[in-house]
Amino acid sequence: MSFKALHNQEHPLLLCNVWDASSAKLAEKLGFQAMGTSSAAIAATLGYADGEEIAFSELYQVVKTIQKHSTLPLTVDIESGYSRDPIEIAENIQKLAALGVEGVNIEDSIVVDGERSLVDTVVFTDCIARMLNKLQQDNIAMFLNIRSDVFLLGYDDPVAEAKSRIPHYESLGVNGIFLPCIQTPKDIEAVMQFCTLPLNVMCMPELPNFQVLQALGVKRISMGNFLFNYIHQQLENTLSSIYAKGSFSEVFNGENH
């Protein structure tokens, strides 16, 4: 089944977010249908904050390593493209396509001096249109998932803001819409009234279970960097215990060692 077809199943595609070869191998071992990189997790492993502090060349090397160790379909979070030039963004996507990457996320916000804000709708859609034109000229097929940060940024009426933006994105011929931080059935149901493309939601504390999400019409569920953060917190707790107790007992208290 193609990566695009995975978004048309009866049940939502559960995307395993990965950040290195080890997590990618585990995703395949456990039977996930596809995986996606977490830009925040990859940045953290390399000592960066989220928000395009990492260079595209560094991301590329991580993706290349992941691709060597898994046969699962892979989609890559390219933040806002690692450039403000649509031609350069298209060239970055071409490089990922050459590695066998089947999809990318690109977001409608940018981070400047540590502050994230939405890009003007007209400016963003023009950039994506020119990027897509370049990809089409070069016969690059890629599942393009547009991430809109209206919920992530805490807008007073994120549904209304999403409604003002998503139709413009859909008119470009993209493949999916991603709304990180949306989590209530009411908001998801409202978005589904005007979103005609597969809707991607992300792991959140109050996100309904997958059965409810399926009933609401969600087609893709991702983990963001929450899984990475959870694992890293467990590591911190274990290391703290070792240091405080002067013992490795904490390491061997669990099972499956």
Judged against a pLDDT cut of 70, whether residue 205 lies above it is answered with yes
> CB within 8 A of 76, min separation 6: which ones?
36, 37, 59, 63, 96, 101, 103, 104, 105
Alpha helices in the chain (DSSP H): 21-29, 39-45, 56-68, 86-98, 121-137, 158-170, 185-192, 210-216, 226-245
Average pLDDT over residues 119-129: 97
Query: Model's pTM, two decimal places?
Result: 0.94
Q: Going by DSSP bridges, is the β-strand pair 220-222/199-202 parallel, antiparallel, or unpaired? A: parallel
Average pLDDT over residues 13-29: 98
Average pLDDT over residues 206-229: 97
Judged against a pLDDT cut of 90, whether residue 52 lies above it is answered with no
> What pLDDT sits at residue 113?
85
> What pLDDT sits at residue 255?
52
> What pLDDT sits at residue 256?
52
Domains of the chain, by residue range, sit at 3-223, 228-256
**Are 202 and 152 in contact, with CB atoms under 8 Å apart?**
no
Query: Which CATH fold topology does 3-223 show?
Result: TIM Barrel (3.20.20)
